Chain A
Amino acid sequence: MGIVQAASQPLEAQDSTSEIVNDFSIQVATVNGSGSQTANAVLMRAIFQMGIPVSGKNLFPSNIAGLPTWFTIRANRHGWIARKKEIDLLVAMNAETAREDVAQLQPGAAVIYDQPLKLEAVRSDVHWYPVPFDELVVPVCPQARLRKLVRNMIYVGALARLLDIDLEEVRQALFKQFGERKVKAAELNWGAVQAGHDYAAKNLPKTDPCRVERMSANAGKIIIEGNAACALGAVFAGVTVVAWYPITPSSSVIEAITSYLERFRMDPETGRATFAVVQCEDELASLGTVIGAGWAGARAMTATSGPGISLMAEFTGLGYWAEVPAVIIDVQRVGPSTGMPTRTMQGDLLSTAVLSHGDTKHPMLFPSSMRECFTLTGEAFDLAERFQTPVFVMTDLDLGMNNWMSDPFPYPEEPVQRGKVLSAEDLKRLGGFARYQDVDGDGVGYRTLPGTPHPAAGYFTRGTGHDERARYSEREDDFMNQMDRLSRKFESLRGNVPEPYLDEDADAHLGLICVGTSRYAVEESRDQLRREFSTPTSYLRLRAYPFTAALRDFIRRHERVYVIEQNRDAQLLLLMRLELDPEDIARLRSIRYYGGAPLDARTVTEEIVRQEGR
């Protein structure tokens, strides 16, 4: 059975001359280190303030200054904010890439470009808006050394004019971006915005169809990066020890945590810190510090990316076997090896699930939005302490380092769950305890913290073989008992992880499954499949590993189920194969993308259509 294209039903019938309102993507091609990030953030924020769903994605090099960078903004009145492959408006500021950037455009796209580049000679089927940036910047920025930075604001002004973005919204976005302490810089840049706007008004007659119109989709919403959202999740979960080693794209998790902790977690009476943040010598030491702190009872965490995860393998195994809580945020980037450090991927799923030697299994949580970055990071701390094991929060560069719209975060209503910890009073009552005994039948033993003032509190934690009283043992029955209990613990954990998000269509034969940021492309692809191919689909977005019965049940309700993910080897699907029955596995199909850019909907749709047509 194949999918056939339905009598094409675009969103609305549009002939070539009609306007395209609130549905376009802008790509700004610049050189990194030129201050374009501020200009792009202002542009995105201005569209956001006009109530139009919008996303901004930075495709940047692993470099401080001088290499090509592309920033894409997508505005879409239906809320589709995944990356879109087709560019409607190009801002070509980088002489080095301009010709290639222009060559890749669809006919009918528009280009704002630096006039001396003379791009209009390249092709004739796009709209040209030449702007003499160097001429315009001189009067608004008398200081020559600042011109390189201010010049980018001119395209913001020109775009505002061409797209009908309210200039007052641009002004507000700009002053917010610079903050109260940089009013002078904001004023300088505002001058550049106005210069660009005025130039466009006088010299650039509108010929392309894209423009904005005010909506009210964003009332009450915030804009935040995923790394900052994870940071807030940790801060509001009461994190007390943070150990880390800088690595792109996770460093800003810790930088955000540090600044929020310094603001909100200084003891009001003594002015001293209720937290410790330690920049370690490497990722081994980071997780070692976290394991030590978690063992001693702190809510401890680290944040890293793939190369760091590789280095943490040994300590993760220790945490699993010695049963020590730890929270590890993995902001995934492109591997293997150093890979493409500033590009995104879901490439650590398989290796993290079984990180370290011997039989190990680790829970992973998969946030897909800013709110989930916040809530699932908080939940990771509860799971880690309840189940006394390392818990991984798997985000990615796209989620972590880009700005996203979000509903405000919910204040955590539930008290923090610190797990089974015996106090001196408990020990007085019990007389003693066996650290690794399964007293409650859930596989989770009771622990004590060092410093507990009771003669029976102490026990010896070790990475070597031990019995249930934590004594050294190489006996096969002791070892197998511990391994079996750890399996039982993992099953208990399975009953306590967040359930998947489910959107089922009663008419659908096809199911789609994904995690994390793949959702934006997959959700839009479902819309494309419905409109363009009259193919309804059901949708399951996993939020945790281990998987729950909801996954198996979903698969059984559908003829074919596509597992869509951002890696080469179908890692998510392989994890499912480890747990599912053969007849369920037989229904699974795989769609992978691993080019380093965020997944786009058209890639998913085309691949489903291709595989269904077979």
Chain B
Amino acid sequence: MINKKILIRTVSSALLLTAASTAQSANWLMLQGTEKDGASERARVWGFVQAQYQYDNSDPGPKGYNPPKLIGPNLDDQSQFNVNRARIGIRGTGFPLDPNVNYFILAELGNNGITSGSDGKHLTDASVTLNHIPGARVRMGLFKYPGAEEGLQAIHVFDYINFTTVTNQLLLERFPASTCDGATPLVPCTQTTDGNNGATYAPDADMNQFSRSVGAFRDVGIQVFDTFKAGTWENSYAVMIGNGNGLNYGDNDENKDVYLYLSTENVFGGKGGRREGLKMFAWHQDGKRTKADDRTKTQDRTRSGLGLKYLKRPFRASAEYMQGEGMIFMGQHRPKHMWNDGEASGYYAEAGYYIPGSKWEIDLRYDSYTRDENFRFPTPPPASSAPGDESTFDTTTIGAQYHFNKKTRMNVEYAMRDFKSDTKAIDNNLKGVKDRFAIQVTHIF
């Protein structure tokens, strides 16, 4: 487990050792958090569309299909065309003469975990950044918290279509429905009937019992961040405090999440989202959650990770290890089981090769995620889980990208999945999980 105190001391040392001059760098904190000094527009409209097709080749389990075998977010079918993301935003410096204040607004209109619980549209970012204090830019509002690379980076330049399992299960937070007021005894507004692990017989049942948007790696809060240049090295830090309530406005309890982030990058050259360099990063997230149907109960939720990313054409490689404790996601069909003090960890390693003289690149990724199955639930663990029981999710993804132009590309990927569990009931549901094919076109404007 990454020690929070060590991380804080490391951040402080980095601030003292590196040059005081700030640099407009091309890392995600700066690309998303602020505008170029003196060279930003009053209002730049931008956005992107991702249209995709996915096919899942899994077999039904003893009781039918369950989420790993169905295409999200609707979980209705094993093959689906979808407008996965359609985002439009506006950013800039509202008063161009003052480069110290900029804003960022982005809305989602596509069909995914963000919008499936919110009438097909949701604001994903709305923030203001104040750049008045050298070395300490301040960003306030709704925006991406500083953390794991898959979450922090801009999704429209992500080299794959689907997240790794470790990111999807450990980091992409789901929020159970709130308590229905006035009911006695208190019950969730959405009735859950997942005592049998939630499997149903037909692939057309909607098992997404989370009625609110996924966290989308975002929070509402305040962040202090900046980047410092020392020769070819760029050192960045970010400290954020947020509601810990994802995309939902307001806080549902008195607890706040704390996010810490540190990165150092040897910049080889280039600019923007595909700048070349070797970056190493570490992050930590600490918060508490309040139980949806019993607001007297709280549960610690911590996540940590460290990783590196290398990009110098024609080669790219990245890897990241993450771990977490508390509120471990147990699947769309088991929303009640999210209330736990379990542990989980995982990692991914991936590489890409840009074929010289062509518009193609090929990608290969391996990710592995392990979560404990025998831990404290509100009631004793299911009898089917024994101490030491784990579920593992291993995936090898082969992919390719074709770049029509700088703003338009096509991704194709084939994921070979090996999911299993020591707990028999869970393993029965994971049996039959097979490969998944996906193709996606992304256009940025």
Please say whether chains A and B are actual partners in one complex.
Answer: no
